[in-house]
Structure 1
């Protein structure tokens, strides 16, 4: 089945296999940081390094990357099956380090003595030994205590063995036991791998497709967002869902994986669990179990194939005509109406919003809107009152008003950071598309803009039905495209210089060259560093949104205070 969609999309191989493959290595920022902890630990003397993470978040990937980048003079004993006795563990360590042990020496004392002799010779020769134990949460407390005792192998100045413990989150709980407090105190570096955020999920999917030989995007933006939501950002689950979604697109047939195709895959998975995604500590475990069961049973494959006749797979001619994005450039941008028009816009009476009481979850289901309706309500914040947006993607339609959509994730703090009214999608049991518009925000509550009036709802209630992703509108430069960077020339560059000149302490001249030169590149980077943005020297949507905030661009709507 994998070869079927590989041929259909022009992939040289199945790009989302769950089998670890070094050529598909993807290191997000947090994975690079975790790897740095291991590499640092390999160069220090003694103690423990602890790396934990949920199932499927990439712990094994980090370990493989570490083994491929070993510093000179470092030797590693890798334990993959820690469910052993003390004697078996020590014998495995000796085998990994190629320490010859006779049958008569296979007692704990003899094994430790031989290991100590080896470590002393290695130290004298300038070599360092590392013991790495994967799935360390399965170690018995008695075996863990013996592992701790191995750190007592030392010279007068140096510990001879560095130990890495890699495992699931319950390893941290295990180490909190009273009987293991000495080991816990010897941990010199700790790192916990979280799941991917929405942006990392999108980058991960693009990376795997490119390695498989396809540079165009095969997933629509909405499809990627749903993959992130259903998988919880867990790399292994992303692979499973993307693999099945590509197969679904192939047999449908469709030139791209759309949200509806991913949704269908998610529904098949949902049959094995009441709610395959959600919030709280059980989220990843439920999603993992559901997706693993789906793979084992082949439910999604059978469901699609039962309904769609499969012809001999070939790459259709029309596939080449599809590009990663089919959005057209906007017509001549127009500035939003003045603030007076915004104040007169209907549906924004926020002075005394109706407070939601008990049963807020039911109210949210009643007041949520489809995407086009929610976008129309969001446009009111910009002083635009369209009768309707017409068919198609609302994000294409808003271009007619000189606006653009920008997707982001990170929850309430991130939304406050950009300080724009936003559109959020609810997490619903049936995966239907229902949206709310956030018009105001404080530490405990939000104001929802509705077709008529508004409503105050607690953030806790919204957290139960929201995954942290959102969409906001922003106003691109009055001339040119939405991105200004190296290679840009003319009026967009002059417009950017003028805005940057209004930023205190940035020292940018308002009048200058119309070429994006190194000095302007450096100014953009300084601004991005100051604002906590990704430092790439490119004035893209997020950089320009923050720039608008800093210089106080007129007529730009902000999140309203919550009465």
Structure 2
């Protein structure tokens, strides 16, 4: 109804899980990394919990798009089943035939056991994922636990992911389920969005719907976050109703008064955020302020305070063309999307361990990551020996580098555009490290010891745990994230970059002002980062992709040229 009024191509705030509107905050990215880790962990339970509407289903859909080709998934959406119905549903999901009148647990267990063994012999991992798992009964959960007893001498044959509301944690804390609780290998509780993430979320959905200009005033976004508690589903419902209210009042920006009305209609109660003062109240102060303002203005003009220097210090519009043409990691470009397109499911003829042996060669397996660290630091021109420091990250500090590590995916590595050490794992071989040198379309160049190999990413997916470690160049004086009010040489480094690349004038150059924060928020939004207006390590990496041509980069020249 209000799309034409705001210049939208479509309604931005629906509760339908449209993948085009996917917003992956740091929290959602961490949750996804835990699930991907769980799939490759080889047995046990992985637990993902979160309040209603926090985005658990969004994370699940993202996981389904990134499943390695060697995974066979049984996804159960309706867990209000008894034990027989659960086993039958698993058979349906895995394509196992059975008699429709079958009611024996033993028969279903035998059928599943045979399929799990067959999958294992083909190098396939079988995963059972249950959504809304807080609705499972104690008896069914116990039956699920018994399924994890299906194993070989080396590994368990079934990996189980339980997704549910916080009540699931209370359910698993019951004494009769303590055996299951002890088998949980990874837990993650998905929390609501922060205020900065809520702002980025609103901007993201409006941008996808076709509007780049601000629609919600700053205080209105704060009120939406407060009323919704940072829960994306409530953010959508309140924002949609607020935009409808603004349309009805012929307002092209959503203010706090409109949001207050929307909150009352959607949630059934008012917020304690004060509404905007009525116009008559503002006019009480308007005349005196106007008189004082005119007096000061005439005085300033008479003394020549207004001249061309005022124009020079005004902020010019951001010139996105320079950023887009120079960016080495523009995520929305079609050439980079070719890297991230969904890979077809393939049948892997060799086991993960056999694949590892193929590209590993005769080198000793790098269990500790020391060899990989030596190879990675060598790309930065640094020679590293273990006796120099406790670890490579500690050593890198003396060379002005930072160390970034955690769980991630291929897309985010491409955004950061830095060579990285990756941790792999196989059943027979255990854990080992390698160095990601570069990306070439669907293939990557990896270094293991002295061997460099080019291999398709789909062959690495069954082996990579999702864990990474990389180095990045720190600007002078940078020790921790910097926001509005910060000052120092790191801020001067940022403002110099803005002036050099955007043609803006930032005064004073050593203070992190609102102007700098606004520019950085837009820059982060354009480059797929969390748009919080705070200078952190990932923002620095992407800026250095433009500012530092000599630092090691991950993307090949052909891909960079296409961006």
Q: TM-score, normalised by structure 1?
A: 0.52
Q: CA deviation at 1:536?
A: 1.7
Is the 2:225–2:235 Cα contact (8 Å) retained in structure 1? yes
Is the 1:232–1:277 Cα contact (8 Å) retained in structure 2? no
Q: Distance in 2 between matches of 1:131 and 1:182?
A: 18
Match of 2:8 in 1: 11
Is the 2:498–2:504 Cα contact (8 Å) retained in structure 1? no
Measured at CA, do residues 538 and 113 of structure 1 come closer, stay the same or move farther in structure 2, by a change above 3 Å?
closer
Is the 1:76–1:131 Cα contact (8 Å) retained in structure 2? yes
- Which residue among 536, 540, 554 is the counterpart of 1:537? 540
Secondary structure of the residue that 1:214 maps to in structure 2? coil
Q: Distance in 1 between matches of 2:178 and 2:535?
A: 38
Does residue 258 of the first structure (1) align with residue 255 of the second (2)? yes
Q: Distance in 1 between matches of 2:164 and 2:291?
A: 52
Q: Distance in 1 between matches of 2:201 and 2:11?
A: 15
Match of 2:93 in 1: 96
Secondary structure of the residue that 1:264 maps to in structure 2? helix
Q: Distance in 1 between matches of 2:177 and 2:6?
A: 53
Q: CA deviation at 1:268?
A: 2.9
Q: CA deviation at 1:183?
A: 0.3
Match of 2:122 in 1: 125
Measured at CA, do residues 66 and 485 of structure 1 come closer, stay the same or move farther in structure 2, by a change above 3 Å?
farther
Measured at CA, do residues 262 and 149 of structure 1 come closer, stay the same or move farther in structure 2, by a change above 3 Å?
same
Match of 1:72 in 2: 69
Q: 1:124-156, CA deviations, whole angstroms, 9 ceiling, x for partnerless residues?
A: 001111100000000000000001111001111
Is the 1:10–1:213 Cα contact (8 Å) retained in structure 2? yes
Secondary structure of the residue that 1:103 maps to in structure 2? coil
Match of 2:497 in 1: 486
Q: CA deviation at 1:236?
A: 0.2
5 Å-filtered alignment, 1:45-84, equals 45-84=42-81
- Which residue among 27, 32, 43 is the counterpart of 1:35? 32
CA RMSD of aligned residues (A): 3.8
5 Å-filtered alignment, 1:160-309, equals 160-269=157-266, 272-273=268-269
Match of 2:318 in 1: none
- Which residue among 155, 159, 173 is the counterpart of 1:158? 155
Measured at CA, do residues 488 and 140 of structure 1 come closer, stay the same or move farther in structure 2, by a change above 3 Å?
same
Is the 2:264–2:271 Cα contact (8 Å) retained in structure 1? no
Match of 1:525 in 2: none
Is the 2:148–2:158 Cα contact (8 Å) retained in structure 1? yes
Q: Distance in 1 between matches of 2:213 and 2:49?
A: 34
Q: Distance in 2 between matches of 1:391 and 1:53?
A: 54
Measured at CA, do residues 8 and 109 of structure 1 come closer, stay the same or move farther in structure 2, by a change above 3 Å?
same
Deviation >6 Å, runs of 4+: 275-278, 387-392, 480-483, 490-495
Is the 2:237–2:266 Cα contact (8 Å) retained in structure 1? no
**Structure 2: gaps (5+ residues):** 278-287, 294-305, 307-312, 314-482, 513-533, 544-563
The count of aligned residue pairs is: 322
Is the 2:113–2:150 Cα contact (8 Å) retained in structure 1? yes
Higher relative contact order (CA 8 A, sep 6+): 2
Q: TM-score, normalised by structure 2?
A: 0.52
Does residue 139 of the first structure (1) align with residue 142 of the second (2)? no
Q: Distance in 1 between matches of 2:18 and 2:217?
A: 25
5 Å-filtered alignment, 1:437-516, equals 474=485, 484=495, 486-489=497-500
Is the 1:80–1:133 Cα contact (8 Å) retained in structure 2? yes
5 Å-filtered alignment, 1:518-529, equals none
Q: Distance in 2 between matches of 1:491 and 1:59?
A: 41
Is the 1:483–1:539 Cα contact (8 Å) retained in structure 2? no
Match of 2:359 in 1: none
Q: Distance in 1 between matches of 2:258 and 2:164?
A: 34
Measured at CA, do residues 200 and 534 of structure 1 come closer, stay the same or move farther in structure 2, by a change above 3 Å?
farther
Q: Distance in 2 between matches of 1:54 and 1:34?
A: 14
Secondary structure of the residue that 2:539 maps to in structure 1? coil
Is the 2:242–2:258 Cα contact (8 Å) retained in structure 1? yes
Q: Distance in 1 between matches of 2:16 and 2:493?
A: 39
Q: CA deviation at 1:189?
A: 0.2
Q: CA deviation at 1:475?
A: 8.4
**Structure 1: gaps (5+ residues):** 279-364, 371-386, 393-399, 403-471, 501-530, 541-563
Q: Distance in 1 between matches of 2:30 and 2:3?
A: 33
Secondary structure of the residue that 1:190 maps to in structure 2? strand
Is the 2:7–2:210 Cα contact (8 Å) retained in structure 1? yes
Q: Distance in 2 between matches of 1:44 and 1:255?
A: 51
Is the 2:43–2:159 Cα contact (8 Å) retained in structure 1? yes
Is the 1:56–1:236 Cα contact (8 Å) retained in structure 2? yes
Is the 1:486–1:538 Cα contact (8 Å) retained in structure 2? no
- Which residue among 104, 107, 114 is the counterpart of 2:104? 107
Secondary structure of the residue that 1:132 maps to in structure 2? strand
Secondary structure of the residue that 1:89 maps to in structure 2? helix
Q: CA deviation at 1:101?
A: 1.1
